[in-house]
Amino acid sequence: NLFKSIGNRNAGINSIFRSLISSSPKHFTNEENKASKYTTFEDMTAIRRIEAQKSLLVQVNSEKSHKELCSYCSQFGKLRSSFYYNLSEDLNFILLEFDEISGCEEALRSSSFNEDHPAIPVISPFLWFKARDSSKPKSVDKNKEVPNLIHQEVKCLDENKLDEILTSAETIDDQILILHRLTQLNELGIRIRYLAGHQLEMALNGMFPKIQACLFGSSVNGFGKIGCDLDLILRLNDDCGDITGSRLIYHTKMSRLNGRSQTQRQMEVIGDLMHIFLPAINNVRKILNARVPIIKYNHECLDLDIDFSMSNMTGFYMSELLYLYGEIDERVRPLVFCLRKWASVVGLTNSSSPGRWITNFSLTVMVLFFLQNVKNPILPSMSVLTKSASPNDIRVTDDNINCTFLRDLNKLSFKIENTESLHHLLLQFFEFYSTFNFQQNGISLIEGRPIVKPDHSAIWITNPLEPLLNVSKNVSYEELEKLKLETRNAAWILESTIDKNKDPSSWGLMSLLRSKKRVVKPEMFFKSRIVDVTDLFKDDSIKDYDNISYKNTAIKS
């Protein structure tokens, strides 16, 4: 709707801004923080999983089929919500949510398979709505309640439109908030990701009654963009043990393989099953020799790239930790979004291929660390979270990694006195890292302050769940110099383009985010060139060039 109204630009733009930023206070006070109620990651996940169990994705001819589809489906149960998106003119989808799981199950039970297609019948939440036999009358029951059809995008927003909206904002704070609102994963994006997990559970549930697809990464940690990839872990058994107390026990098969080869074999089989039988799953690639064996695939109806693994619960708990840090203060996520965008525009991160550059994950940790280190800290150190943990918070992974920390933020006693604006925090971030002593110090969320660097890596960022490991081990000295240069540059650009009136078409955030038109302060540019060249002669400056992302490499990050 926002972009429909953008068509009528000048008339609508002020009201668009008001609606985009109205719910966000410009000044953040302690009172507001105290008043907020936090949802735990587990509760949020449980709600989303149930939502997926109540939902179906139906391919339709066009959005005009909405009423007819709802009228047809309401015979199975009351409908709660409906979302529409299209991937092309001919690929139109409606995501329907029933009020109860039973409604959805009834709809699935009554669905049939395509008689004209000699395919093997397989159950999934992905269906299509057959056109009505034209000889029969239209069957829309006008008395039935039909949920509103909500239009949302599953693809990234057009850069020119974003540019246009950001340029017309009033302040840099507004620009940061708007960027966040318009690029963050929307409701539909979250729902279809849980539905992708549910598809695997549905398909394999008959054989593995305890199966659970656990979503992690940016799809669930609150730092995901529209269109971000989906990371998921498929667990065939849960940790809860069996509490039924029955005297009848299932016979099961013990594996003779060790943990890793067992995971590889299981993934091999499940990967084949997905490839051969599951609808809409395409382009299945197995990368089983990586440290964390993964299978990559593409979901046709959801337009999603999915990475799935069957081990690595630390990734899941790491996402929970990031989610909690994002919940503590409402400035965290807009700031991370803005910095992720800036880093990708200036070429510090490269989401399409892993390599010697900093990852989005490491950059996010750097932002959190910075917020622990501002004059009046906005985020607590992780040791505060671990010290506040209760017995309910104890989590230890299969490979014995302790992931215990406070889960319920309502029990956190940490006062936020800081009321700085997003704009000032952004500037301080650039200043903080352009002067950070990377040579001697490392970044650690656990301590919440710089630590003595334990080795010679270009950048040391302690893995908060496995403190002996460096999550930025892959980053080269050359990339570190680039980071220092770009943060210096950004601080300078941001300071010199605050005034909207001086250059209304390229001010504030726009001057930072428009890659081609970036202003480069000459002396800084030359200084950095010299550093780059001398670096090439240092022995260890090129080490780890082939250490690619933690998922695709044997090197433990």
Site residues, Mg ion (CB under 5 A): 217-218, 229, 231
471 binding ligand GTP? (CB under 6 A): yes
CA angle 148, 149, 150 (to 5 degrees): 110
Nearest in space to 230 (alpha carbons), one of 255, 195, 278, 201: 195
- Choice between 162 and 465, CB closer to ligand GTP: 465
Dihedral sign for Cα 41, 47, 52, 55, please: negative
Least Å distance between CB 162 and ligand GTP? 17
Write the interaction track for ligand GTP spanning residues 328-357; mark x where CB under 6 A is met and - where it is not. -----------------------x------
Single residue of 319, 372, 397, 528 touching ligand GTP by CB under 6 A: 319
Residues 6+ apart with CB under 8 A from 176: 334, 335, 337, 338, 422, 423, 426, 509
314 binding ligand GTP? (CB under 6 A): yes
552 binding ligand GTP? (CB under 6 A): no
- Choice between 217 and 448, CB closer to Mg ion: 217
Choices 220-228, 245-253, 417-425, 531-539 (CB under 6 A): range interacting with ligand GTP: 220-228
- Choice between 124 and 319, CB closer to ligand GTP: 319
Dihedral sign for Cα 371, 487, 364, 399, please: negative
Residue in the shown chain whose Cβ atom is closest to ligand GTP? 217
- Choice between 322 and 328, CB closer to ligand GTP: 322
Query: Exposed (0-12), middle (13-18) or buried (19+): which is 221, by Cβ within 10 Å?
Result: buried
- Choice between 169 and 406, CB closer to ligand GTP: 406
CA angle 341, 345, 351 (to 5 degrees): 75
233 binding ligand GTP? (CB under 6 A): no
- Choice between 199 and 463, CB closer to ligand GTP: 463
Q: At 370, list the tokens.
A: 């910075």
470 binding ligand GTP? (CB under 6 A): no
- Choice between 216 and 438, CB closer to Mg ion: 216
Q: At 39, list the tokens.
A: 């949802």
Q: Which does 224 bind (CB under 5 to 8 A by kind): Mg ion, ligand GTP, none?
A: ligand GTP
Nearest in space to 325 (alpha carbons), one of 135, 41, 8: 41
359 binding ligand GTP? (CB under 6 A): yes
> What's the rounded Cα separation, in Å, for the pair 198 and 202?
6
- Choice between 82 and 360, CB closer to ligand GTP: 360
Q: Which does 221 bind (CB under 5 to 8 A by kind): Mg ion, ligand GTP, none?
A: ligand GTP
173 binding ligand GTP? (CB under 6 A): no
Single residue of 99, 106, 163, 229 touching ligand GTP by CB under 6 A: 229
Single residue of 72, 76, 126, 216 touching ligand GTP by CB under 6 A: 216
Residue in the shown chain whose Cβ atom is closest to Mg ion? 217
Q: How many residues bind ligand GTP (CB under 6 A)?
A: 20
Instruction: Tell me the DSSP string of 214-246.
Output: EEEGGGTSS-PBTT--EEEEEESS-SS---S--
Q: Which does 351 bind (CB under 5 to 8 A by kind): Mg ion, ligand GTP, none?
A: ligand GTP
> What's the rounded Cα separation, in Å, for the pair 110 and 68?
17
Question: CB neighbours (10 Å) of residue 452?
Answer: 8
Q: Tokens 């496995």 — which residue?
A: 466
CA neighbours closer than 13 Å in the CB half-sphere of residue 99: 11
DSSP count for the chain of H helices, then E strands: 18, 12
Single residue of 224, 326, 334, 448 touching ligand GTP by CB under 6 A: 224
Strand partners, 281: 299
> Measured over all CA atoms, what is the biggest interatomic distance in the chain, rounded to whole angstroms?
79
- Choice between 182 and 230, CB closer to Mg ion: 230
Q: Tokens 């080490």 — which residue?
A: 543
228 binding ligand GTP? (CB under 6 A): yes
Q: Which does 93 bind (CB under 5 to 8 A by kind): Mg ion, ligand GTP, none?
A: none
318 binding ligand GTP? (CB under 6 A): yes
Choices 37-45, 151-159, 191-199, 218-226 (CB under 6 A): range interacting with ligand GTP: 218-226
> What's the rounded Cα separation, in Å, for the pair 355 and 373?
28
Least Å distance between CB 75 and ligand GTP? 40
Single residue of 74, 221, 372, 434 touching ligand GTP by CB under 6 A: 221
217 binding ligand GTP? (CB under 6 A): yes
97 binding ligand GTP? (CB under 6 A): no
Exposed e or buried b for every residue in 164-181, given b needs 16+ CB within 10 A? ebbbbbebbbbbbbbbbb
Nearest in space to 409 (alpha carbons), one of 11, 40, 12: 40
> What's the rounded Cα separation, in Å, for the pair 512 and 491?
9
> What's the rounded Cα separation, in Å, for the pair 51 and 320?
20
Write the interaction track for ligand GTP spanning residues 418-457; mark x where CB under 6 A is met and - where it is not. ----------------------------------------
Q: Which does 263 bind (CB under 5 to 8 A by kind): Mg ion, ligand GTP, none?
A: none
**Site residues, ligand GTP (CB under 6 A):** 216-218, 221, 224, 228-229, 231, 314-315, 318-319, 351, 359-361, 463, 471, 550, 557
